[in-house]
Amino acid sequence: MIARDATGRAMSDDVIGQKLPSKTQKKREMHELQALGTALVGLSESLLGELALDANLRQAVLEAKRIKSHEAKRRQMQYIGRLMRDIDPAPLRSQLDALTGHSSVEIARHKRLEALREKLLADDTALTDYVSAHAGADLQELRTLIRNARREQKEGKPPRAFRELFRRLKALDARAAPQG
């Protein structure tokens, strides 16, 4: 007996043995692509420039950022979702996670830098160890930031130097990461 599909056409042996994705599964995948497109539209143009995007997709995302009308934006988002069907979303998703800090590597890096900052604030010898390990670190600048952060904590002031110290450590870590 010959197997037939819903329209009555004869199906080949290749199609019979495969489990085709259901309509629900296809819709779920399309919604995920549209959500990824929405995340792309939410990025700043400078962050978009860092992503490896197809030229048509990049143009569509920039156009969606410009559109103000609700219905036009909805149609543009569907268009972005359609364009994304033609690309592999996994590398794009991993790049986006790395940029927005949602990847496990970025989270671990953030926690490591926070622990380093706390260690530098608690122990003076930790600064000399850090500077000797990181050649590009400016000892005087880091010492000033640590002193100011300690003063801010003691006086209950807003943590401006505390945050600036973290930014400097992050920049130094980013410079050291490509080398080693």
What are 13-61's pLDDT values in tens digits? 555 557 788 889 888 888 888 888 888 888 888 778 878 888 898 899 9
Q: Is the pTM of this model over 0.75?
A: no
Total Cβ atoms within 10 A of residue 76:
20
Are residues 97 and 103 in contact, defined by beta-carbon separation less than 8 angstroms? Answer: yes
The reported pLDDT for the residue numbered 179 is 46
**What string of H, E and C letters represents the secondary structure of 89-125?**
HHHHHHHHHHHHCCCHHHHHHHHHHHHHHHHHHHCHH
Which among 136, 140, 160, 141 has a CA at the least distance from the CA of 150?
160
Mean pLDDT, consecutive 10-residue stretches, the chain (180 aa), reads 63 62 87 85 82 88 91 91 86 80 73 91 87 83 91 91 90 69
- Classify burial at 40, counting beta carbons within 10 Å of its beta carbon; exposed 0-12, middle 13-18, buried 19 or more: buried
The reported pLDDT for the residue numbered 103 is 59
Please give the Cα distance from 64 to 74 (Å, whole number). 9
Structure tokens at 105: 């590597």
SS3 10: strand
Are residues 84 and 37 in contact, defined by beta-carbon separation less than 8 angstroms? Answer: yes
Q: What share of the chain is helix, strand, coil (3-state, %, to 5)?
A: 75, 0, 25
The reported pLDDT for the residue numbered 75 is 92
